[in-house]
Structure 1
């Protein structure tokens, strides 16, 4: 077997593996907001860009290296989190068919920090 044929066989195997993994992959399911894009008003207002900009002591949760630029301060915040916590099932897995909703729809998440 020549090197050229070996490479073609390797490429064919890799393509077959990629196709198999693509077929086996299930659909992605996500909600909006289980991971915070920032901590504190300034950092949340930048929707994640607070990693690169010092927005105060609460922004240090995303990038602690900004502690030198923030200086000595302390801060506290309360964030409300209201995810859509319901789903419907139709004969899959151990759950009975039907619609399920959570009893809790709004959560209050405290955050705080200090830098010295």
Structure 2
């Protein structure tokens, strides 16, 4: 994220500690100045070239602790909002049909398959 978004800011909106878990809601803000890489099954799948557009969305992170150490981290991201703010979602109709059918999305504006 830091290499793709200039001036990346992650202000905490709210955090809650309960038992061995910490829940953090934060905003993600910045300007899309570098390649934004999307992964699928642990491998690089698509790249969104720099658009210069601003992003501003929220994420939720859940940290599970044991003996004061983070043992597990889970995140809920809003990828649809990010891609919409970058101007690459929703895709053109033909690319959308291929995407939902499991095919290549080369027709989606701004997306390149690796």
What is the TM-score normalised by the length of structure 1?
0.26
| Structure with greater helix percent | 1
In terms of fraction of residues, the more strand-rich structure is: 2
